[in-house]
Chain A
Amino acid sequence: MSGILNSSIGRKVAMALSAFFLMIFILQHFAINILSVFSPDTFNEVSHFMGTFWLIQFVLQPVLIFGVVFHFIMGFVLEIKNKKARQISYAKNNGSANSTWMSRNMIWSGGFILVFLIIHFIDFWFPEINTKYIVGDMSGTLPNGEFRYYEELVHKFEPIWRVALYCLGFVFLALHLLHGFNSAFQSVGANNKYTKGLKGFGKAYAILIPLGFIFIALFHHFNH
């Protein structure tokens, strides 16, 4: 198995597996975030549970971070290798005649997602780690005794520039997934009469999930 990352197909499959993991994670992330629209109390409770349960904090969270880092590093490695496979480029190349813009620009959509993720970590993850493990406050509450998660979320979406940036980030995620979702199935060797039906689902996932995140950001911006 260690040799698998030395082969083209091995790298392709590893890329797809990390992507599957990220797509499941994002679904879960969305399910929790959307609670903030319908029920701030439930959102607070679930956030507190996610933020303090050891299995999530010390097992799943490191796996997730590894998954993200692996995915984008592998993405860059593959891009460099693939560029090297054609040393002289065409004087005229009509890429749009045979493939989608999304499929040819995964590195760009992915690159913008990475920029977004860095900002997102600075916005939410670093303060969270600081409060819990550096300051040592595991209570999850504000000085007035109420849960802090919902308040923090709403506060973050006050400035319009951040809302705009988040929306842009999700547009790039949609572009990434419009190609990526079905590509990942192809990578692991699934392309048959069952996966044909998955195409439509993939498109829906790629558009609806990012759109849902955009909705949440706009909702909190305009409602408070």
Chain B
Amino acid sequence: MNLTLKIWRQKNANDKGKMVDYQVSDISPDMSFLEMLDVLNEQLINKGEEPVAFDHDCREGICGMCSLYINGEAHGPDRGVTTCQLHMRMFKDGDTIFIEPFRAKAFPVIKDLVVDRSAFDRIQHAGGFISVNTSGNTIDANAIPVNKHDADDAFSAATCIGCGACVASCKNSSAMLFVGAKVSQFALLPQGQVEATDRVMNMVKQMDEEGFGNCTNTGACEVECPKGISLENIARMNSEYLKASLKG
């Protein structure tokens, strides 16, 4: 396949940045999107130019590091996949592909396509944990019975890999799908009840301070999320938040 790539280039956080056109040829439809970028970067390095910086780590859809806004969608046109799992067969020979960083005020660009998603870490630090000592004296998993339905929902919420596609896809740059998932994975379980009130209040407060927008329920996040995190998690966070604010 021969492709035209329109890629966001930005030297550093302070640079203004611009879209730059590149041509790549002989791309195999079986390559992943990141492998296609590797081919481009080899070309650039051979020509003595600066390669395109982009995030990645596991390249098997579990770490959440790869990002990219491809042809107007987070992680590209496929569903339920991260960019490292996106195959070039989703595109046609001769296509023009727009490649941009995830855009949000709370996700500033560091270089080219790499953005700083540490806002998510700070939200997690604010309450996305349980204070149980799990070293050495681990208790049996079945000591506290959990309703199967709740266990399944908690597990689904816990599959969120913190990639930020929800923020990137949202017209309001809202982080509520991510925070909803992180609140829900504990709110559904007895182990999460001890800190339930503080957790949701503190995580939402941090989310607001980071400068994420406000959800208007367009549902774009749910469609673009590589892990299929559902909007129910946002509704659950909202009701947890209401319960918590009425209490305190």
Cβ–Cβ < 8 Å partners of A7 in chain B: 204-205, 208, 241, 245
Instruction: Give the CA-CA distance A97 to B72 in the complex, in Å.
Output: 9
Instruction: Give the CA-CA distance A106 to B236 in the complex, in Å.
Output: 23
12 contacts between A and B (CB under 8 A): A7-B205, A82-B172, A82-B174, A84-B213, A85-B105, A86-B213, A87-B105, A94-B72, A97-B73, A97-B77, A99-B219, A189-B237
Cβ–Cβ < 8 Å partners of A183 in chain B: 216-217
B103 contacts A86, C-beta separation under 8 Å: yes
B208 to chain A, nearest CB (A): 5
Q: Which residue of B lies closest to A190 (CB)?
A: B235
A residues contacting B by CB (< 8 A) are 1, 4, 7-13, 78, 81-82, 84-95, 97-100, 103-104, 106, 179, 182-183, 186-192
B residues contacting A by CB (< 8 A) are 6, 8, 19, 69, 71-73, 77, 98, 100, 103-106, 169, 171-174, 176, 204-205, 207-208, 211-220, 223-224, 231-232, 234-242, 245
Cβ–Cβ < 8 Å partners of B172 in chain A: 82, 85-86
Tally the A-B contacts, defined by beta carbons under 8 Å.
Answer: 140
B214 contacts A81, C-beta separation under 8 Å: yes
Q: Is the interface of B mostly helix, strand, loop or mixed?
A: mixed
Given A7-B208, A8-B207, A94-B73, answer yes or no on A103-B237 (Cβ-Cβ < 8 Å): no
B214 contacts A98, C-beta separation under 8 Å: no
Cβ–Cβ < 8 Å partners of A84 in chain B: 105, 211, 213
A41 to chain B, nearest CB (A): 44
Q: In the complex, given contacts A8-B204, A12-B214, A191-B232, what are 12 additional A-B residue pairs having Cβ atoms less than 8 angstroms apart? A: A82-B172, A82-B173, A90-B98, A94-B72, A97-B72, A100-B218, A103-B219, A106-B216, A186-B238, A189-B238, A189-B240, A191-B234
A191 contacts B231, C-beta separation under 8 Å: yes
Cβ–Cβ < 8 Å partners of B169 in chain A: 98
A91 contacts B106, C-beta separation under 8 Å: no
Instruction: Give the CA-CA distance A8 to B174 in the complex, in Å.
Output: 10
Which 8 A-B residue pairs are closest in the complex by CB-CB distance? A189-B239, A94-B72, A85-B213, A191-B235, A82-B172, A98-B223, A189-B238, A85-B173
Cβ–Cβ < 8 Å partners of B98 in chain A: 90-92
